[in-house]
A = this chain, B = another copy of it.
Amino acid sequence: MKKELYQMHADMCKVFSNCVRLEILNLLREGELTVSKLVDKSGLTQVNISQHLSIMKSKGMVTSKRKGLNIYYKLSNPKIIKAFDIIREVLSERLTENKKLLGK
């Protein structure tokens, strides 16, 4: 398999490597939201949310459309949430194992 493809893959995965972006992706799971809704729901600053949305848009993970003053963002591909959930499962299973080990 080509190194170049691994690099593109890694670049796409960098989106998942930040907790703000993960929170945004998770908030977009049910459908599109405006920037201000994302700000409200996350409690993060508008600037920070916009910065991360910009990164995710450039990586092709989200798309946006303007309606008046608002801009709606949504996931570009529903598989993104599948990936999110599988990694959550790996994490959960790991945490469960750690608990078991502590219980012994």
A residues at B contact (CB < 8 Å): 1, 3, 5-10, 12-14, 16-23, 26, 60, 76-77, 79-80, 82-83, 86-91, 93-95
Contact = CB atoms under 8 A, between A and B. Distances in A.
B80 A83 contact: no
List the 10 shortest-distance A-B pairs measured between CB atoms, nearest first. A13-B16, A6-B19, A10-B19, A17-B17, A83-B86, A14-B17, A7-B19, A13-B17, A60-B94, A6-B22
A89 B16 CA distance: 16
Nearest to A22: B6
A1 B19 contact: no
Contacts of A19: 3, 6-7, 9-10
A26 B1 contact: yes
12 contacts: A7-B19, A8-B91, A10-B18, A10-B19, A12-B87, A17-B17, A60-B94, A76-B94, A80-B90, A82-B86, A83-B87, A83-B90
